[in-house]
Amino acid sequence: MVEAFAVASGKGGTGKTTSTLALGMALADTYDVTVIDADTGMANILFHAGLSDIDTTLHEVLAGDAPVDDAVYERFGMQVVPCGTSLAGFQEADPTELRDVVASLAEQTDIILLDSPAALDSRTAVLPVVLADRVIIVLQPTVPSLSDALKVQEYALTYGTDIAGVLFNRVTDDEAIADISEQAERYFEGDILATVPETEHARGARRAGKPLLAHAPKSAAAQQYHDAVRSLDIRDGSSDAVADRFRSAVIPENP
Ligand code: ADP
Ligand code: MG
């Protein structure tokens, strides 16, 4: 059984990486979960997951210099596949190889979460949204963030990727969120999965090199991620079918 999710947003800094690891840990209570840093140009899962001193990352795998298994790390009850942060590593990496990497990991796990790049303007950036079964859209409760997120939705639907739902992050103002939620319900497919507050725990987690659910498991923010996972309603899929779909996916030349 396997389902692949892209965790995406229109802009950087909305909390994709924080949310990918939090959702991954919440899902790992029930499923075998693999989290992949598909944001190969602005990778940061390794900092959020205490992996900054490792040698082999997704960059080496995408460059053909290491087998994928060498870049899979058991952390916090999940398999984590971090990406390196050097410009040279990024330049050496062949983003189209991500299809084979995800395909081979799909054969070994229940759920894949792809931490995705912010913009949709390069072949690398669009891959996760094109390849995933469903997209989880992370946004801050502002109109510009909402409008960027709608572009992600439009893009996903164009390539036959469903919308799992919308996750609001860094929420400070209850009134603003009420108004934005109403608009989000109107414009987005899928549910509003969670409303995660702006919290010092998220910054503390990042500093400690731990996912939020490991750093502050009892926090209100952590609870929101558990609730989000309950409303995700994971679908059954055959691992082989998903792997085949990834391997043979057509990558758009001009996104
Ligand atoms: P992205 O991957 O979308 O660029 P990150 O998850 O790296 O975003 O988050 C960007 C910054 O915002 C990080 O420093 C992170 O610790 C912080 N952050 C994320 N979510 C929250 C939150 N709910 N409250 C406070 N800070 C947050
Ligand atoms: Mg990130």
DSSP string, 13-41: TSSHHHHHHHHHHHHTTTS-EEEEE--TT
**137: three-class secondary structure by DSSP:** strand
Q: How many angstroms separate the alpha carbon of residue 193 from the centre of ligand 1?
A: 17
- pLDDT of 114 reads 96
Ligand 1: lining residues by beta carbon, under 6 Å: 9, 12-18, 44, 169-170, 196, 198-199, 202-203, 206, 221
If one residue of 137, 203, 212, 223 were mutated to test the ligand 1 pocket, choosing by the most ligand atoms within 8 A of its CB, it would be 203
pLDDT under 50: residue ranges of the chain: none
> Which residue shows structure tokens 């609870």?
223
Ligand 1 atom closest to the CA of 42, numbered from 1: 4
Ligand 1 atom closest to the CA of 115, numbered from 1: 2
Whether this prediction's pTM lies above 0.85 is answered by yes
- pLDDT of 137 reads 96
Residue nearest to atom 17 of ligand 1 (CA): 203
- pLDDT of 45 reads 96
- pLDDT of 255 reads 59
Q: How many angstroms separate the alpha carbon of residue 108 from the centre of ligand 1?
A: 29
The per-residue b/e assignment along 168-180, b for 16 or more CB within 10 angstroms, e otherwise, is: bbbbeeeeebeeb
- pLDDT of 109 reads 95
- pLDDT of 111 reads 96
What is the token pair recorded at 8? 């995406």
